[in-house]
């Protein structure tokens, strides 16, 4: 898999005492985030960074003791709209890196402003039903 992409960041899910003793690995490229789980049977889930609508950083006491944290991303994705990047080292730096590349991708695809869901006030004023004229 290393030959397929140039990775900006990669890490494993941390378990006991902040050690990477897991078969879950995370990869960040310039335009995608990939989660690979498994040892014998591998499952990969990926999404385009421009599809992220919200970010959250979770720092439990146990994770903070070992310099880890969990990043939760809300993504416009059918199968899993909430993606958890569990127990990674230096979560604030990872979140800043993600934020930078999410914004770059949104600018690249001109996505800014389209994250809002629902009709605008102007749409309601020009409704065909005549209630708002």
Residue partners of 118: CB distance under 8 A and separation at least 6: none
| Distance between first and last Cα of the chain | 58
- Provide the pLDDT for residue 110: 87
Q: What is the pLDDT along the chain (133 residues), one digit of tens a residue?
A: 455 678 999 999 998 888 898 999 999 999 999 999 999 999 999 999 999 999 999 999 999 999 999 999 999 988 889 999 999 999 999 999 999 999 999 999 888 765 545 544 444 444 444 444 4
Domains annotated for the chain, with CATH where assigned, are 9-110 (2.30.29.30)
- Provide the pLDDT for residue 4: 66
Overall size of the chain counted in residues: 133
Separation in Å, CA 71 to CA 43, 52, 75, 93: 20, 12, 13, 11
Provide, for the chain, the percentages of residues in helix, strand and coil under a 3-state DSSP scheme, each rounded to the nearest 5: 25, 35, 40
Q: Is 76 exposed, middle or buried (0-12, 13-18, 19+ CB in 10 A)?
A: middle
Q: Is 17 helix (H, G, I), strand (E, B) or coil?
A: helix
CB 50 within 8 A of CB 108: yes
């Amino acid at each position: 898999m290393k030959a397929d992409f140039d990775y900006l960041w990669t890490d494993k899910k941390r378990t006991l005492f902040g050690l990477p003793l897991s078969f879950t690995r995370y990869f960040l490229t310039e335009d995608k985030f990939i989660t690979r789980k498994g040892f014998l049977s591998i499952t990969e889930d990926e999404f385009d960074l421009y599809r992220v609508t919200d970010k959250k950083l979770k720092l439990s006491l146990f994770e903070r003791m070992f310099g880890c944290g969990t990043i939760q991303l809300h993504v416009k994705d059918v199968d899993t709209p909430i993606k958890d990047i569990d127990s990674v080292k230096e979560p604030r730096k990872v979140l800043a890196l993600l934020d930078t590349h999410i914004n770059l991708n949104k600018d690249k695809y001109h996505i800014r402003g389209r994250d809002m869901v629902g009709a605008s006030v102007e749409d309601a004023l020009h409704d065909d039903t005549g209630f708002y004229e």
